[in-house]
Structure 1
Amino acid sequence: MAKQKLVLIGNGMAGVRTLEEVLKLAPEQYDITVFGAEPHGNYNRILLSPVLAGEMQVQDIILNDLDWYAEHGITLHVGKRVTQIDRIGRKVIAADGTSAEYDRLLIATGSQPFILPVPGKDLPGVIGYRDIADTQVMIDTAASKQHAVVIGAGLLGLEAANGLILRGMDVTVVHLGEWIMERQLDKTAADMLQASLEAKGMKFRLAHQTAELLPAADGRVGAVKFKNGEEIPADLVVMAAGIRPDTALAEAAGLHCNRGIVVSDTLQTITDPRIYAVGECAAHRGIAYGLVAPLFDQAKVCANHLAQMGIARYQGSVTSTKLKVTGIDVFSAGDFMGGEGTEAILLHDRSGGVYKKLVLKDNTLVGAVMYGDTVDGSWYFQLLREGKDLGELRDHLMFGQSYASSHLGDTGHAGASSAASLPDSAQVCGCNGVCKGSIVKAIQEKGLFTLDEVKKHTKAASSCGSCSGLVEQILASTLGGAYQAVDTTKKAICGCTDHNHGEVRQAIREQKLLSIPQVMATLEWKTPNGCATCRPALNYYLVSTWPHEAQDDPQSRFINERAHANIQKDGTYSVVPRMWGGLTTPAELRAIADAAEKYQVPTVKVTGGQRIDLLGVKKEDLPKMWEDLNAAGMVSGHAYGKSIRTVKTCVGAEHCRFGTQRSMDLGVKLEKMLFAMWSPHKVKLAVSGCPRNCAESGIKDVGIIGVDAGYEIYVAGNGGIKTEVAHFFCKAKDDAEVMEISGAFLQLYREEGWYLERTVHYVSRVGLDYVKAQVVDDQENRKALHERLLYALQGEPDPWAEITQGPRRKEFIPITLVA
């Protein structure tokens, strides 16, 4: 029997996924022809952002290369836009005259970016953001222009803005709404995300309406003008204010369209049963979906009918969003805003960067939104989809599936314990609609042993990647002892390179590389300028390996370090003057009070590290405020960078009747010894004058506790989101020995820790016995480590100051802000 002819218009993710499903079900049924308007094979549109950011190349995001089409006997016409559907003659015609006849036609034309109908929208330099061509325009523009404006603070707009910042542009995001990503996040989560993005240098104009795009002298776009009359410069304007289903071709063919090409539950157009539509161009029961998971659900049902099985029905999708927005985890599902008859359970830890909101109605979960910690997103989504009565699980719901399991045992709730107890029907990959059962079946039948193999065979974790951890858990539970976890120490620093942290550090040390360009040239970096992940790491490795010789690059630090203050959610800054060991004087307090009054600081707070925090400082006031504080002899507390933060002390034997050692005196000595110390991550110390441990030394990176015979030293504690008790390290007889041991430990960490790796994770990686052997047992090595630390710090200016020489530590240090 002769094969039927199947033509696909649109070579995107939804259409080609439908073909993949058809080839599984009926590989010999059709001669297939594909028309794609772009000159590429099928690619992962979700990963355009890493391409813009320089973390990936175009070839890295191709899903089906040209060989795939040839292997399956598919005729592919790339760079050919179909302009006509002849429903009578059953053929399609492209703009260049190329035509193809069909027995069945599948339309997957996707969507087009919504271009604001404002004067100047057609100026050169005004683009949408939907495809590889748009991405290339942004990359090319960033190479020669300075100011970019992104209109729209949805996911796509924020990713575009982040990529342009990493390309070196000054970026402002303009949004009509009151908060960013209002379709995925409530205001609290959005505010936390905005603060994190502002810390990366992103600027925002919220509740601003664009009135006009103004031309520059060269005829390109030059500025954006708002309804309120304000203007901001713009060498590039990216429209990311929404999408519209691309229905022009279908409408011209007489197919019924209403917010998309109207389709039935079989994905057939209601006008012509020979013609199907899937993806963003299709409207099912009045909804045109823009997320990937519903589109792949449609693909499966459509393929079922194209294969003439005729049993599947698409009844709509319950959607969830689990994403990484510029590296920050967010999750939302269902009615997370809440409405009549609903109630919310909240967990909000702003300092820890965690927010969870669970919305319940009639004792069932109807919505959830999370920021920072999204590990339980799949479990919550499963509970939401199944609509189960929460029963006694309700009281434990906020603390996640592991906690619920440990306190309730086997409650029968889906996923209550771990990946192993998730039901086969539980959706693991929201982007690709892959359930646990499909992953387990592929692992068992195809003999898969790695995450990459699972990605290749099931598509799980191959899009946004946020479910990678859960997929690995399923691998481990399915394979048991045969599972070999990936060695994270061998993982590349970022997409700009194949080299891991250890290889980079080794090359810098062995080849005496002294600048970021030298490292990138020597190690053949894939991107010309690196990204926000690798540049700060390279800068740290250089200055810590070759102090006084390596070229320090201030622009490879985060905005908090460059601005010498900690950016807050409202765009103002927090300033923390240093108080050695937590000690201060009336003169210093008077200077702080004067600065708070002079610059109208709204909030003055004592921090957990025994310092005073001035919150709400305007950016334009920072230089003058620091000038005033410097004049009073006060320097930065470095509460903003990867550095020594504080040495917390109790009053010790100086005043306390229980004190056995002079903790304040030692704390001041340690802090002055370590001032201006760069480190892989922030470092906190504490000195307690007796075993009562009032300074909480047991959860610090280095904790010292006074005892009758001297001191006990503890290392690798962590008081963060997951509290870790410090390990007992050794005893020391006096202040000098404490300073040598502490300095040697921190220098070992500085030399061997990966960038952004806390001491707790460094010690866990290399082993406490190894660290003890280097610092406690080998006294000659300890002395050498301590001397290298002192050498690295000697004569160093404040690393956040714009000076290259001058006094440090105890004396006045002038500070100039990086703009």
Structure 2
Amino acid sequence: MTIPKKLVLVGNGMAGIRCIEHLLKLAPDAYSITIFGAEPHPNYNRIQLSSVLADGGAGLQDIVLNDWSWYEDNGITLHAGHAVTAIDTASRTVTSDQGVSASYDALLLATGSRAYILPVPGADKEGVIGFRDIRDCQTMLEASRTYRRAAVIGGGLLGLEAARGLLNLGMDVTVVHNSALLMNRQLDPAASLMLQQELERQGMTFRLNAQTAEITGRKRAAGLKFKDGSSLDADLVVMAVGIVPNAELAASAGIETRRGIIVGDELATSAPGIYALGECAEHDGIAYGLVAPLYEQGAVLAKHLAGVPTEGYRGSVTSTKLKVSGVDVFSAGDYMGGAGARSLRWQDEMDGVYKKLVVRGDRLAGAVLFGDTSDGAMLFNLIKSGEPIAGREKELLLGYAPGSGGAAASSLLERLAAMPSDEIVCGCNGVSKEAVIQAIVSGGCTSLGAIKACTKASASCGGCKPLVEGLLELTAGDAVVQVREGICGCTSLGREEIVEAISSMGLSGVRETMHVLGWSQPEGCSKCRPALNYYLGMLQPGSHRDEKESRFANERYHANIQKDGTFSVVPRIYGGVTSPAELKHIADVAERFQVPLVKFTGGQRLDLLGVRKEDLPRMWEELGMASGSAYGKALRTVKTCVGDTFCRFGTQDAMGMGIRLEKAYERISTPAKFKMAVSGCPRNCAEATIKDFGVVAIDGGWELHAGGNGGVKVRATDLIGVVRTEEEVMEWSGAFLQYYRETAAWGERTAHWVERVGIGSIREALASAEERIALNERLQEALATLEDPWQEIVDDPELRKNFEPLAVAGREQP
């Protein structure tokens, strides 16, 4: 029996993990693999950080590429939250900042890069950040809750994506750029001007040809001062002016570096047995910062490590796609042209479309597309392949042959049919036409989501989606066009079909449901498992056993994982009303467990931050309080004002009403997080009109509101109606809550649900007293089955073992 070699990967990002994925396919038993990742997260899609920022409610789980179970299933030892601080090339070992060492036969350095911070006075102030990881997104989200003015230094790809995200967070955003043109390294002047005009229409402002001289303010950033003497007020400064390869670790071990870690065509460094790839590597003087070249490097290195013949890495032709909602921009290759090049341009300012092709000889050298980027992937393949295009230049530019009266010279399907089988369809993930067709024909992938899950085509920037959909239609026939996207890539079934099947077939468990309904992935994924667990519990409240393994880690631990791997504990404080004795008790427990930070939340509760995982069971036990469910899809909080108890403007008992609502509905599972508030008068101090369900006291009664959101995309509630008594408030709130539970999709906030189904249909559904009674009866049936989720952990020593400190990270590691 051959003993596997020891492979250590430093860096848990996209480039290194893609290499490991290839290696597992080529030589699954050749290596025993250990991975060190500085961030306390599994491998996630860094390309989608701008989407997390823009979408607001999206979290890390929405962009995870390989969840905790992937490492475990492949026998990989993962040390998450461990930064490697030393490499001993003589003994062939690496050591982390937490004292963990590992020996290697082959060492892969994929340490990535960090944001370049301009060396100007004030750059070290609070409120000055880069934009490179999930922590930066969290900083921006937190800043948007307190501050309103943001400056983004850098008008390139990353800067504009950060700026669009900050706009969505409700901030006033100014982009500061040292050139007269936005994205001047990716776009020509015409496309750049069209981009600027579109972004200005979206609310972005610009300071072009501006040189930052200083960041003003005392402890925190207050603004920018420019070299021409002008200034700009800003509470948050995001620098997106470039990246710096993380090459210091390699340099400290005596490995040759310049800007990055110097590698040859086999990605080998100057040290025996050590390789580098990704943003930290420098090949032929170039350190690439785009994902497609990094994936190409990973494929080459995996072949080399597996002993498969390879020509080596020869450098990459790059393309760029801007990921800003409502703006489609693409560029690739030599888009400016110059001596010896010819350019073809087409511009339609009415529809906001611009196309430019750069041709050298009979080859396509570069392209710029604005407004219509559907041909981007096809043009990029022509640039990379060097295929002659003589006589087809105008057809490629216009999409139809001149003189044809506008008739398409070749449809997308015809172009796809003629495309060579080894041509790359998805540049980000290196997926060929042949791989997509194989997934459809042999893998039974009959939807875009299924192809994405199987091949990862269109899973990154999404620019190749039209090509993948075209191949699906071309290969599977017209019937596939009718296939509706499923709840995830594991199934083509939507929410309604799944709920109906569970009800009609009497399905009782997550695995049973996946098996009977023909899931393509027998274990499901992080999207469908929690959804199925919820639907089963909602439909069968008396018989379904809640499956902890189908919940996210935060819900399993009843605490939120923080960026440093610790947890935050939020005990429930009904209606935000507490007592001196309760406060003293919480303080005593916080002191005993050495909680480093105690903070009041926006929902009028106390957040105990920095709790170690192994302390969670004993801490909850000593608190003796219900969990505030600050982590789960459940009733989070009921915010109140003091109402008529103390306030001279109050018309009703807001605190009493809020406490009654919270005690009635605590721990009930909901499709998404659910927040309530009760205001004691129309002055609305509890902000009830931006909650999922809000109650506002008026003279002689209560207004009932629904569908609000005070988060990233603020939405005011719609009025459901007015009632007179507290009993009616309870009747209508319970009916609304159950109707939402029964009709919304998993993960769908009430704000989106109300807009989808219409407030009129909700009013109509709740108008009948008989129907409200029936809804409340079903809600009470669900509530009757709930127990304190922490009690079983407190009482069961086997479950408590899950919280012991882990030496090697697995799926339970934060």
Shift of 1:527: 7.0
Give 1:490-501 correspondences, 5 Å limit.
Answer: none
Shift of 1:516: 7.7
Residues 275-295 of structure 1, C-alpha deviation per residue, up to 9 Å, x if partnerless?
111101111111111110111
CA–CA distance in 2 between the matches of 1:525 and 1:14? Answer: 41
Shift of 1:530: 4.9
Give 1:588-607 correspondences, 5 Å limit.
Answer: none
Distance 1:331 1:41, change over 3 A: same
CA–CA distance in 1 between the matches of 2:278 and 2:187? Answer: 24
Give 1:684-763 correspondences, 5 Å limit.
Answer: none
Q: Tell me which amino acid in the other structure corresponds to 2:58.
A: M
Shift of 1:382: 2.4
Shift of 1:259: 2.3
Distance 1:362 1:228, change over 3 A: same
Aligned residues of 1:343 and 1:360 also touching (Cα < 8 A): yes
CA–CA distance in 1 between the matches of 2:706 and 2:275? Answer: 47
Match of 2:268 in 1: 268
Shift of 1:144: 0.5
CA–CA distance in 1 between the matches of 2:709 and 2:137? Answer: 15
Aligned residues of 1:129 and 1:240 also touching (Cα < 8 A): yes
Shift of 1:466: 2.0
Correspondence 1:423 to 2:420: yes
CA–CA distance in 1 between the matches of 2:346 and 2:689? Answer: 41
Distance 1:488 1:372, change over 3 A: farther
Match of 1:355 in 2: 354
Shift of 1:384: 2.0
Match of 1:172 in 2: 174
Match of 1:366 in 2: 365
Aligned residues of 1:359 and 1:368 also touching (Cα < 8 A): yes
Q: Tell me which amino acid in the other structure corresponds to 1:224.
A: L
Correspondence 1:246 to 2:246: yes
Correspondence 1:87 to 2:89: yes
Aligned residues of 1:151 and 1:240 also touching (Cα < 8 A): yes
CA–CA distance in 1 between the matches of 2:478 and 2:408? Answer: 25
Distance 1:410 1:371, change over 3 A: closer
| Length-normalised TM-score, structure 2 | 0.60
Correspondence 1:452 to 2:449: yes
Give 1:490-529 correspondences, 5 Å limit.
Answer: 517=690, 528-529=710-711
Q: Tell me which amino acid in the other structure corresponds to 2:85.
A: T
**Count of aligned pairs:** 521
Give 1:86-485 correspondences, 5 Å limit.
Answer: 86-216=88-218, 219-269=219-269, 271-400=270-399, 417-485=414-482
Aligned residues of 1:41 and 1:66 also touching (Cα < 8 A): yes
- Root-mean-square deviation (CA, aligned residues, Å) is 3.3
Give 1:578-593 correspondences, 5 Å limit.
Answer: none
Aligned residues of 2:400 and 2:409 also touching (Cα < 8 A): no
Distance 1:227 1:472, change over 3 A: same
3-state SS of the aligned residue for 1:266? coil
Match of 2:12 in 1: 11
Shift of 1:479: 0.8
Distance 1:103 1:337, change over 3 A: same
3-state SS of the aligned residue for 2:323? strand
Distance 1:84 1:518, change over 3 A: closer
Aligned residues of 2:344 and 2:394 also touching (Cα < 8 A): no
3-state SS of the aligned residue for 2:35? strand
Match of 2:53 in 1: 52
Q: Tell me which amino acid in the other structure corresponds to 2:388.
A: D
Shift of 1:391: 2.9
After the TM superposition, which of the residue ranges 53-62 and 149-158 deviates more from structure 2? 53-62
CA–CA distance in 2 between the matches of 1:314 and 1:526? Answer: 53
Aligned residues of 2:11 and 2:38 also touching (Cα < 8 A): yes
CA–CA distance in 2 between the matches of 1:227 and 1:26? Answer: 57
Shift of 1:55: 5.0
Shift of 1:381: 1.8
CA–CA distance in 2 between the matches of 1:349 and 1:210? Answer: 35
CA–CA distance in 1 between the matches of 2:63 and 2:479? Answer: 30
| Length-normalised TM-score, structure 1 | 0.60
Match of 1:729 in 2: none
CA–CA distance in 1 between the matches of 2:693 and 2:191? Answer: 37
Larger radius of gyration: 1
Question: Structure 1 regions of 5+ residues with no counterpart?
Answer: 504-513, 547-751, 756-819
CA–CA distance in 2 between the matches of 1:256 and 1:180? Answer: 35
Shift of 1:351: 2.0
Shift of 1:245: 0.9
3-state SS of the aligned residue for 2:477? helix
Distance 1:358 1:418, change over 3 A: same
Shift of 1:480: 1.2
CA–CA distance in 1 between the matches of 2:5 and 2:403? Answer: 54
Q: Tell me which amino acid in the other structure corresponds to 1:242.
A: G
Distance 1:515 1:358, change over 3 A: farther
CA–CA distance in 2 between the matches of 1:404 and 1:384? Answer: 26
After TM superposition, where is structure 1 displaced by more than 4 Å over at least 4 residues in a row? 401-411, 486-492, 518-528, 752-755
Shift of 1:115: 0.5
Give 1:625-644 correspondences, 5 Å limit.
Answer: none
Shift of 1:422: 2.2
CA–CA distance in 2 between the matches of 1:167 and 1:73? Answer: 40
Shift of 1:488: 8.4
Distance 1:98 1:472, change over 3 A: same
3-state SS of the aligned residue for 2:18? helix
Q: Tell me which amino acid in the other structure corresponds to 2:48.
A: L
CA–CA distance in 1 between the matches of 2:390 and 2:228? Answer: 52
Distance 1:131 1:231, change over 3 A: same
Residues 117-157 of structure 1, C-alpha deviation per residue, up to 9 Å, x if partnerless?
01111111111111111111110011011111111111111
CA–CA distance in 2 between the matches of 1:182 and 1:486? Answer: 41
Aligned residues of 2:394 and 2:401 also touching (Cα < 8 A): no
CA–CA distance in 2 between the matches of 1:55 and 1:403? Answer: 47
Correspondence 1:531 to 2:701: no
Residues 437-469 of structure 1, C-alpha deviation per residue, up to 9 Å, x if partnerless?
111112212111111111111111101112222
Correspondence 1:28 to 2:201: no
CA–CA distance in 2 between the matches of 1:520 and 1:20? Answer: 45
Q: Tell me which amino acid in the other structure corresponds to 2:460.
A: S
Aligned partner of 2:64 among 57, 62, 65 = 62
Residues 157-216 of structure 1, C-alpha deviation per residue, up to 9 Å, x if partnerless?
111111111111111111111211112111211111111111111111111011011124
3-state SS of the aligned residue for 1:189? helix
Distance 1:49 1:321, change over 3 A: same
Residues 287-306 of structure 1, C-alpha deviation per residue, up to 9 Å, x if partnerless?
11111011101101100111
3-state SS of the aligned residue for 1:221? coil
Shift of 1:435: 1.7
Aligned residues of 1:155 and 1:325 also touching (Cα < 8 A): no
Q: Tell me which amino acid in the other structure corresponds to 1:421.
A: A
Distance 1:339 1:55, change over 3 A: farther
Residues 566-592 of structure 1, C-alpha deviation per residue, up to 9 Å, x if partnerless?
xxxxxxxxxxxxxxxxxxxxxxxxxxx
Distance 1:98 1:406, change over 3 A: farther
Q: Tell me which amino acid in the other structure corresponds to 2:713.
A: C
Match of 2:589 in 1: none
Shift of 1:308: 2.0
Shift of 1:225: 0.6
Aligned residues of 2:400 and 2:407 also touching (Cα < 8 A): no
Shift of 1:486: 4.8
Match of 2:750 in 1: none
Residues 508-539 of structure 1, C-alpha deviation per residue, up to 9 Å, x if partnerless?
xxxxxx9983668899989743539xx6xx99
Aligned residues of 1:85 and 1:93 also touching (Cα < 8 A): yes
Distance 1:351 1:104, change over 3 A: same
Distance 1:527 1:476, change over 3 A: farther
Residues 376-406 of structure 1, C-alpha deviation per residue, up to 9 Å, x if partnerless?
1122222222323323323423212799999
